Amino acid sequence: MKRIYLFFALIFVAQGILFAQELRCNISISAQKIQGANRTVFETMQSDLYEFMNNRKWTDQKFAMDERIECSFFINLDEQISSDEFKGTIQVQARRPVFNSSYETILLNVKDNDFDAKYIEYQTMEFNETSNKDNLTNILAYYAYIILGMDYDSFSPEGGTEFFQKAQTIVNNSQSAREKGWKAYESERNRYWLVENILNKSYSGFRSTTYQYHRQGLDIMYDKSPEGRAAIAESLKSIQKVFRSRPSLYILQVFFDAKSDELVNVFSKSFPDEKNRVSVILNECDPSNGSKYEKILKSESF
């Protein structure tokens, strides 16, 4: 009988090793600006947010342990409004492995200045896709779906649509929320506009770039560096078209916040004519990082 129990226990453990949740999410909370508070609350909050993000099943897909999406949430609490309400910012970053290498590319790097949430220590965190009852779990779930959408888009053309739609549903359900970040009129760079821009067919070049840049570009660079760079350079033309249609789009900032340093590294090893073509696009679409892109032209060419 003991052997039978041991057999089933081993099966259970093996299944746990083979299949896991979708996200491997690191949570970091800083509350240095809040004086006089019970510091253990922030430790408990960090632990609860970690459990919520990593133990919840976000899709109906099976993920192996090594397939989980690497992501990080950096929450900086600036103000305690009441005993259980806090305001601050949240920085969300997601990463993706590049085929045949140990390199991880940044898929998403967003700073959200409208983090306003209630947290009650030791109370179970719950998320309901059909309501806006809890702003904290709504924010976390929204970014979980944005991360999943970006990851899936990077492996297949518009493969993340269903997850972006789930994020948009959270936005729609939060239109009556008193907290900021969900409504169009509050800002041009918030949660409303991020998912609106992504799903807007007028700006589909952003999503086609996500696929071409990663799957047809970075993923083949181990074996075919010139071809991979060429694909990335070609993908930037789609970003350029989006920029020319509406230069102030939030997703353009999101793209370059994630990719500016990487683009310098990729094209610093390119050929002179390719460097020139790429530099023209980057300086047009992302002039704020012009000093970075100068390094592309100044680096030694092949």
Q: What three-state secondary structure class fits 57?
A: coil
Tell me whether residue 216 is in a domain: no
pTM above 0.85, yes or no: yes
Tell me whether residue 12 is in a domain: no
- How does pLDDT run across 85-138, given as a tens digit for each residue? 999 999 999 999 999 999 999 999 999 999 999 999 989 999 988 888 899 999
Helices (H), 56-160: 135-153
Whole-number pLDDT of residue 16: 44
For each successive 10 residues of the chain (302 residues), what is the average pLDDT?
A: 40 48 96 85 96 95 90 97 95 97 97 96 89 92 98 98 98 96 97 98 98 98 95 98 97 98 96 96 97 90 60
Tell me whether residue 263 is in a domain: no
Whole-number pLDDT of residue 299: 81
- In sequence order, the 6+-apart residues with CB closer than 8 A to the CB of 60 are none
Whole-number pLDDT of residue 278: 98
Whole-number pLDDT of residue 172: 97
Residue 239 token pair: 């970003």
Number of domains in the chain: 1
CA distance 240 to 169: 29
Q: Which amino acid is at 128?
A: N
- Per the structure, the complete domain to which residue 185 belongs is given by 24-61+69-199
Tell me whether residue 217 is in a domain: no
- DSSP, residue by residue, 232-263: HHHHHHHHHHHHHH-TT-HHHHHHHHHHHHHH
End-to-end CA distance of the chain: 69
181-185 CB contacts, 8 Å cutoff, 24+ apart: 181/112, 181/114, 181/115, 181/116, 181/139
Tell me whether residue 184 is in a domain: yes
- Tell me 102's DSSP state: S
Tell me whether residue 230 is in a domain: no
Tell me whether residue 180 is in a domain: yes
Tell me whether residue 167 is in a domain: yes
Residue 90 token pair: 């949240």
Q: Which amino acid is at 78?
A: D
